[in-house]
Structure 1
């Protein structure tokens, strides 16, 4: 996976769109309509904005130094299950972010960027679906 391509796509989107939050959540709620009621108390969108910000920071760490992202993703997948968000639905959020970036970048979304995001999504999904941190730590040590 090319971290530079992922970073570049995020930077380009930030230059073109003041706030990705409404676009990301509109897409999420179209794809996962059962998730919208969970945000009924988020009238001003601050929770959504903070969640998206946290996801972007986690992605940047994941493609970089990997100081915390894998553990955060595993923990949040388990935490969200407590909010009736199953792991397979939780994991779709990363793809929703990628799809939103693709839409914002338009013709500047290249095949190389697409391949980098597809590879990243596969890697992220591993941590969404494997929440046992002891086992993933053993696997990473091999």
Structure 2
């Protein structure tokens, strides 16, 4: 599904300005909703701070490249390869979608709009399908 890169970036920056600890919030929410995700991420990354830094870096890489189809595809392939090498199961990607949307909305508060949620859902579904394809070829 198509998504609006401008809305994606603006809503990310809105949420991040309101909650600079967005990645840590995401990790905590993911851990609370899916305890097995916490065990997996702790095993893969070790310290919580390492996880937050990694999540922030991945989000930044994807958002920085969302306007450039070739660079965006390359970033997704790199992410898929990382998932494979770290043995992160595909179902965790679905868990992350739900938690990411809730975390962004919680940080943005009353300024979060249905358009933002739809944009993020469409972008994440695009990302997840590309990840699955890239993963299948790795």
Q: Rg larger in 1 or in 2?
A: 1
Q: Which runs of 5+ in 2 are unaligned?
A: none
Q: Distance in 2 between matches of 1:96 and 1:70?
A: 23
CA separation of 1:62 and 1:126: change in aligned 2, threshold 3 A: farther
Distance in 1, Cα, partners of 2:95 & 2:76? 12
| Matched positions, count | 133
Q: How well do the aligned residues superpose, as a CA RMSD in angstroms?
A: 2.4
Which structure has more relative contact order (CA 8 Å, sep 6+)? It is: 2
Matched, 1:73 2:76: yes
| Aligned match of 1:26 | 28
* TM-score, with structure 2 as normaliser: 0.78
Unaligned runs of 5+ in 1: 135-142
CA spacing shift, 1:94–1:55, aligned 2, 3 Å: farther
User: d(CA) in 1 for partners of 2:77 and 2:114?
Assistant: 29
Q: Secondary structure at the match of 2:134?
A: coil
Q: Deviation digits for residues 5-40 of structure 1, max 9, x if unmatched?
A: 111111111221121122100111123321212315
TM-score (ref. length: structure 1): 0.76
Q: Please report how far the alpha carbon of residue 110 of structure 1 lies from its aligned counterpart in structure 2 after TM superposition.
A: 0.6
Contact 1:61 1:67 in 2 (8 A): no
**Distance in 2 separating the partners of 1:52 and 1:5:** 20
User: Where in structure 2 are the equivalents of 1:110-125 lying within 5 Å?
Assistant: 110-125=113-128
